[in-house]
Structures are given as C-alpha cells and as structure tokens.
Structure 1
C-alpha cells in the first residue's frame, strides 16, 4: 500500500514565537527524521500550511512560513488550507488519488484540532493512518497541558474503529516507509 507523509501546520506563527507548543523543538526534529526516511524510501512528503487573514497565519506572511528548523525540500508538495480539515477545499485528496496513496503517516500541529480532524476525515475516506505519536503537538490549554492532549489523542484515535480503516499511533522512530 503506497504511503505519504503529511506534515500539518508546523509554521513559524505557531512554533517560533514566545509561546511555543509543548515539546516543539523535539517534534520538529522527529518530523525532519520522518521526512528524511520517507524521501529515502521514495515516499512523498506533503506540507500543509494553515492560512487565515488578519492573524499571524495570514497567507504568505512571516508567521505563515514553515517553522524554523523544519527541513523541507523543493520536491516536497505544499498545500494551503483554511479549516482544521486538510482535505476540505484543498487538493490533498486528488493528489493522493493521482499517486494511488492509501496510507497516510500524519504528524504536526495542533493535536486536538487539525491533526485530529484530518485523521478522522482520512479514515472516513478510506485511508489507513499512522499517527506519529511523538511528532504532533499543541499549546497548553486551560484544561490540559500539551502533553496531556497529545496522550489523549494517541489513546483515542486508534480506538475509532467505526470508519473501517485502521488508525495506529506509533512513536516516530518506529515508523517505516516503503
């Protein structure tokens, strides 16, 4: 089954400011390692960038750019989105269909919003999903820390069986491509 690595919303306006997401620097390192392994196996790497006018993620603004430390290559695909769902109103699904990709390895930001929503949508569309369990993050919230939110997503998403396709949460170092 063909794979793709989907890197969601790892952007300067979310990672490079004074208030950083939990474990942010380590998450970026793990994403880079995943991307290197994916490319070595001939697996496409796709970067998705959220944009919202009037915010630090305004289209083509410094905050919209990919986060410092992330190492995309010119051959990696870039997609823009305006909702938590990487499929809604984007060219993601046609791109996956064009390359006959049926398995997504997903990482990035925000664990409880864009990562969660995209995983649920991917499974609903019939894609199997591997969540890089230690390569997604969010900011601390009033009700839970980033670490607690990540742990919740890692425990909850693999238990969603009603969609049909398998969702797994696996540490980034254990994910293989090809």
Structure 2
C-alpha cells in the first residue's frame, strides 16, 4: 500500500516560544528521520501549516513559517489549513488521490488537536493510519503533561476500530517506508 507522510503544524510560532512543546527538539529530529526515509523510498512528504486570521499564525508571518530545524526538500509539498482537520477546506484528499496514496503516516503538532483530528478524519476517509508514536507532541496542559497526552492519544487512537481502516501507533525506530 502506497503511503504519504503528513507533517502537521511544526511551525516557529508553535515550537520556538517558551515554554516549548514536550521533547520539541527530539520530535523534530524524529520527523527529519521520517522525512528522509520517506524521500529515499519515493514517498510523498506533505508539510501542513496552520494559519489564523490574527497575528498568532498569520499566513506568511514569522510564526507561520516551518520550524527552522526541519529538513525540507524542494519536492516536498506544503499545504495551508485553517482548522484542526488537515482535510477540511484543503486539497489534501485530492493530492493523496493524485499520488495513488493508500495509507498515511502522521506526525507533528498538536497531539490532542490537529494530529488527533487529522488521524480520525484520514481513517474516516478510508486511509489506514500509522501514527508516528514518538514524533508528535504538544505543550503541557493543566490536566496533563505533554508525555501523558501523547501516551493517551497513542493508546486511544490505536484502540479505535469503528472506522474500518486500522490506526496504529509505531515508534520512529520501527517505521520504514515502501512505495
């Protein structure tokens, strides 16, 4: 099954301000590992960037730019979005169809918002999803820290079977691509 790698919202305004997300630098390293493996296998890489109407993540602003530590190649695709769902009001599904993608690998930010929503939507659209279990992150919250949120979502999303397609959480070290 042909995969695509979706890197969600790893942007300067979300990663570079203090406090930073849980394991921010380590997550970026893991994402770079995944993007390198994907490119070597001829798998499409899509960098998805969230934008807001206000200054927080205004399109084109410094905060909206991809985080500087990411390794982005000229052939990678960039996609703009305005909701936690990377498919809603975007051409992501059309891109995946045009590449004959049959499954997606998801990583990025924020675990409990855009990563969760996009994972569920992909499965609802019929794509089996591999969640890069240690390559998504979020900020600590009052009710739980970033590690607890990541751990919870890895277990919860992997436990959903009602969509039909399987969602599985796999560590970066075990994630390899085949076209």
TM-score by length of 2: 0.98
Q: How far apart in 2 are the matches of 1:46 and 1:141?
A: 28
Deviation of 1:18 (Å): 1.8
Contact 1:103 1:127 in 2 (8 A): yes
Q: How far apart in 1 are the matches of 2:156 and 2:18?
A: 30
TM-score by length of 1: 0.99
Q: How far apart in 2 are the matches of 1:153 and 1:84?
A: 15
Deviation of 1:102 (Å): 1.1
Q: How far apart in 2 are the matches of 1:12 and 1:124?
A: 30
How do 1:1-178 and structure 2 match up within 5 A?
1-178=1-178
Q: How far apart in 1 are the matches of 2:145 and 2:18?
A: 17
Contact 1:16 1:68 in 2 (8 A): no
Q: How far apart in 2 are the matches of 1:89 and 1:173?
A: 33
Deviation of 1:55 (Å): 3.2
Q: How far apart in 2 are the matches of 1:23 and 1:5?
A: 20
| Structure 1 residue runs without a partner (length 5+) | none
Q: How far apart in 1 are the matches of 2:167 and 2:23?
A: 23
CA-based RMSD of the aligned residues comes to 0.6
Secondary structure of 2:14's counterpart equals helix
Deviation of 1:101 (Å): 0.3
